[in-house]
Structure 1
Amino acid sequence: MAHCFGLIGCVIVLVALLEGSAAQTTHIVLDNQGWIIPTAGASAYTNWAATKTFMVGDTLVFNFANNQHDVAEVTKMAYDACTATQTIGPILMNAPVNITLTTPGEHYYICTFTQHCSFGQKLAINVSGSPSTAPAPPMTTPTTTSGPTAAEGPTAGCPPETSGPTAAGGPTSTIPPNSASVVACTSRFLVIASMFIMLML
């Protein structure tokens, strides 16, 4: 019985790891220093961002003292010129400011307090699309196969990597697996396998 529970525990942990592999990341801007006029110079935020990978769904956290700083998203032109006459959205003044990245591409943030941006309190990041937002791979024309159907196997509902000969006797076609489907299918397979092991013990 103890052996059975041990196997179940391993399966549960593995499934959790697989399903959590695409979890979003929270980035504390400039780490412990927070959103400040950088003492290391204007390159402090550039150097910090260069060590990070930003994905759609991630969150930026700006920690600062209220009434001493704020956060505004601006265009690249405004970022370069350190002007806040036209911001993208409202100026955020209550710390901590949490900004969820919803679109890929370049994003620019500055502090609008007098000369703070000119002194280096500005952040530029490049956001990549998350795997979940990537378009699904193209599917080829369905083919007919002999033998057991996909629903009869332990990985029912999983997309096969290759399909059998077409009804017209043509060559086999390859269907690239979708990464999200692979994770889901692996999870289902592990759950089914653990149930099978429990029945056998």
Structure 2
Amino acid sequence: MAAGQGRGSAALVAGLLLLCLLLPAADAAAKTYIVGDDAGWSKNLETTWLGGKTFYAGDVLVFKYNKEHHDLVMLGGKGYQRCQVPRHSSKSRVMRTGNDAVTLRRGNNYFICGEPGHCKNNMKLAVKAW
């Protein structure tokens, strides 16, 4: 009986080790992207920059922009859809450095420019990270 239990345990350990080898390490897979490439954080990025890219949790997006005219707001889906910065929300964060790095969470990540009219003129980005 003890021998049978040992073989089952060994098979389980071997299976777990194989699974660990097949899954990529989060740090090894993380990439850094400059949002908008040379154009930076600007309008229409969902149609001009986002296409064909696959993002993963842990990837970093760097938003470069003129901080005198723009900002970067991370927010939830409702704020994104409404182009509205929530007054009080644990999901929102406003950044104004002109060179902001954001690590993507698994799932949907939403960004807008909070300056009046900018989001409604398509200065926004929704990124799904796997």
TM-score of the aligned structures, taking structure 1 as reference length: 0.47
Q: Return the index of the structure with the highest Cα Rg.
A: 1
Code of the residue aligned with 2:120 in structure 1: it is S
**TM-aligned CA deviation for residue 124 of structure 1:** 0.2
Query: Which residue number in structure 1 is paired with residue 28 of structure 2?
Result: 22
**TM-aligned CA deviation for residue 120 of structure 1:** 0.6
| Partner Cα distance (1:46, 1:66) in 2 | 21
**TM-aligned CA deviation for residue 26 of structure 1:** 0.6
Are the aligned partners of 2:75 and 2:93 in contact in 1 as well (CA < 8 Å)? no
In the TM superposition, 1:1-201 aligns within 5 A as 22-36=28-42, 38=43, 44-47=44-47, 48-86=49-87, 88-101=91-104, 103-128=105-130
Code of the residue aligned with 2:103 in structure 1: it is T
| Partner Cα distance (2:52, 2:36) in 1 | 11
TM-score of the aligned structures, taking structure 2 as reference length: 0.71
**TM-aligned CA deviation for residue 61 of structure 1:** 0.4
Structure showing the higher strand proportion among its residues = 2
**TM-aligned CA deviation for residue 58 of structure 1:** 0.7
Code of the residue aligned with 1:112 in structure 2: it is G
Are the aligned partners of 2:61 and 2:101 in contact in 1 as well (CA < 8 Å)? yes
**TM-aligned CA deviation for residue 22 of structure 1:** 3.1
Code of the residue aligned with 1:104 in structure 2: it is R
Count of aligned pairs between the two proteins: 102
**TM-aligned CA deviation for residue 79 of structure 1:** 0.7
Runs of 4+ aligned residues of structure 1 deviating over 6 Å after TM superposition are: none
Segments of structure 2 that go 5 or more residues without pairing to the other structure are 1-24
Q: Which has the higher contact order (CA 8 A, sep 6+)?
A: 2
**TM-aligned CA deviation for residue 85 of structure 1:** 2.1
Deviation digits for residues 67-97 of structure 1 (CA, Å, limit 9, x no counterpart): 2111111111111110002452430001200
**TM-aligned CA deviation for residue 111 of structure 1:** 0.4
